Chains A and B, each alone.
Chain A
Amino acid sequence: MNIFTLASRELRSLFLSPLAWSILAVVQFLYAYLFMGRLEGFLQIQARLSLMEKAPDVTELVIIPVFANIATILLLVIPLLTMRLISEERRSRSLSLLLSAPLSMSEIILGKYLGLLGFILCLLLLLLLTPLSLLGSGSLDFGLLFSAWLALLLLAAAFAAAGLFMSSLTQYPTLAAITSFGLLLLLWLFNMAANNVGDDGSTSVLAYLSLLTHYENLIRGVINSADILYYLLFITGFLVLSIRRLDGERLQA
């Protein structure tokens, strides 16, 4: 109940700021551009594909690669959304309103997180509309589409949790944005390091930690509980850290 009050306040404030709208617009624009490019390529090879047996369809050749690209855009965009969550409240001193109200720290953090998740859901639902527009001229692999979309959602939710934690550390939104961007990029690039190190034990650990590895599984249509669990653990981990951080702030200072 309290959590949803906080979440709806957060969501409302997001939509009252130009930032949210510009992010929606920019992401949608880039997405449309990528999508168009891919679709163009697909139409050129469509004739040859139709001759093949078990040819990959439009979902595999257009939507999935575009979704993979969108993940990179989300990496850039989500820190901008999360940066203000707590740091801004700390800066404008409105945090004391929440702290002196009968709310627990977990409620405050969860409320904020859910509010942001609501926004991310809006963003991703909009992304889902474009593939559906192809339905007029062909069929889609809905299983694959769902898996890829779920992958995007989990990825974005994980980004948001990390960003929220970074925002709880500071009172400067820009600082929160840049640190969460750095953290996410590092986790993303673990995979690259893993590829370079060669094939021993350390490789698989690094690869396992990477956000990208788990994302790649899901987006290929392999829904593995281990991958989903990885994201849930990632999210829970950062949320718990944020709660601890906010709680600890009262004790020191």
Chain B
Amino acid sequence: MGFLGPNGAGKSTTMNMLSGNLAPSQGQITIAGYDLLDEPRLAKATLGYLAENPPLYRELTVYEYLQFCARINQIPRTKIASAMQMAMDRCGLHSVTHRLIGNLSKGYQQRVGIAQAIIHLPAVVILDEPTVGLDPIQIREIRSLIRELGQDHAVILSTHILPEVQATCDQVQIINQGKLVFRDSIQGLEHRLQHNSLYVAFHQPPALDALQDLAGVESCESLGNGQFRVHYKEATSPAEQLVARSVAQNWRLYELRPEQASLEDVFMDLTHNEVVESET
């Protein structure tokens, strides 16, 4: 599940509460059937948490650190070795087993953090912005790792990066200023993101009216330099027509793409809707 929100929306606070680092001032949290305040041990045993900054002991080696994590998560002594093996397999840590955590790159430290969160095979894994500060290759690796985890754990991923959620999650919740404003499947979100507009660019731009005349087009605006934005009515995309017309009249089309709303637009949209709803 993806947990989205702009900066300062309360994502990390929510994650902190879920993981028992903060106590809620109201309401209660139930993890895998255990109340977090009444049965903290049982609840926390079913939970793996990676905070925004991975909680690492820099002076330990990866091996020592994971061993420590395995122990404090009460894995029986006989199963510690296999649990560590599993976590290291999963997160690709075999090449750095005996290096000091403080000397590892940020990407590897992040992986050690994830390994720590899944070592006791918790039912719920909570990851708070796991790809912050990583390079694109590392981000891709971590995302595929998260998708893999999602197959046998319930993963809650908190982030402010929309594509990340699109790449890894099935369910999405969006919060803003501490309130839940959206809750749907990823398809629902993607549907919401369709903006009903096309961005087109020509080497020999036609007159604005010529675009306006296409079937389904609601309005057109020129962005200068032969670039246009074409707004159309829902489910009547003029893209096909536009290409045909361009070829026939030699407008020399070189770019055409459907425009997607950014996360900010969705937020604007959602918060705006909320205001409208509360007024009516």
Contact = CB atoms under 8 A, between A and B. Distances in A.
Q: Do A and B come from one complex?
A: yes
Contact of A96 (B25, B40, B55, B60): B55
Contacts of B40: 102, 104
B57 A100 contact: no
A95 B41 CA distance: 17
B108 interface: no
Interface stretch (A9-17, A38-46, A48-56): A9-17
B106 to A, nearest CB: 14
A71 B53 CA distance: 40
Contacts of A93: 51-53, 55
Contacts of A9: 57, 60, 68
Contact of B44 (A16, A95, A101, A253): A101
Interface stretch (B71-79, B147-155, B207-215, B216-224): B71-79
Contacts of A96: 16, 19, 21, 49, 51, 55
Contacts of B60: 9, 12-13, 16
Interface in B47-93: 47-49, 51-53, 55-60, 64, 68-69, 71-74
Contact of B55 (A95, A102, A104, A250): A95
A100 B126 CA distance: 11
A161 B74 CA distance: 27
A94 B72 contact: no
Given A13-B57, A94-B57, A97-B55, A102 B45 contact: yes
Nearest to A101: B72
Given A13-B60, A94-B56, A100-B44, A6 B51 contact: no
A98 interface: yes
B132 to A, nearest CB: 13
A251 B23 CA distance: 5
B168 interface: no
B239 to A, nearest CB: 49
A97 B101 CA distance: 15
A12, A17, A102, A103: residue with the most chain B Cβ atoms closer than 10 Å: A102
Contact of A102 (B44, B51, B56): B44
A250 B74 CA distance: 23
What class of interface size applies to chain A in its complex with B? Answer: 20 to 34
Nearest to B13: A253
B20 interface: yes
A138 B22 CA distance: 61
A195 interface: no
A99 interface: yes
Contacts of A101: 44, 69, 72-73
B159 interface: no
Contact of A97 (B23, B41, B71, B116): B116
Given A93-B55, A102-B45, A6 B19 contact: no
Contact of B49 (A6, A100, A104): A100
Contacts of B116: 97
B41 A104 contact: yes
A2 interface: yes
Contacts of B49: 96, 100
B72 A2 contact: yes
A52 to B, nearest CB: 55
Contact of A98 (B16, B59, B64, B72): B72
A72 interface: no
* Most A Cβ at <10 Å: residue of B59, B71, B72: B72
B74 A102 contact: yes
A100 B23 contact: no
A128 B71 CA distance: 34
Contact of B58 (A92, A102, A250): A92
B45 A13 contact: no
B72 A6 contact: yes
Nearest to B58: A92
Nearest to B77: A1
A100 B41 CA distance: 9
A5 interface: yes
Given A13-B57, A16-B59, A100 B19 contact: yes
19 contacts: A2-B74, A5-B68, A5-B71, A12-B60, A12-B64, A92-B56, A92-B58, A93-B53, A93-B55, A100-B19, A100-B21, A100-B44, A100-B48, A102-B73, A102-B74, A103-B44, A103-B72, A250-B20, A250-B21
Interface of A: 2, 5-6, 9, 12-13, 16-17, 92-104, 250-251, 253
Interface of B: 16, 19-23, 25, 40-42, 44-45, 47-49, 51-53, 55-60, 64, 68-69, 71-74, 116
Q: Which 3 A-B pairs have the closest CB atoms?
A: A97-B55, A94-B55, A100-B49
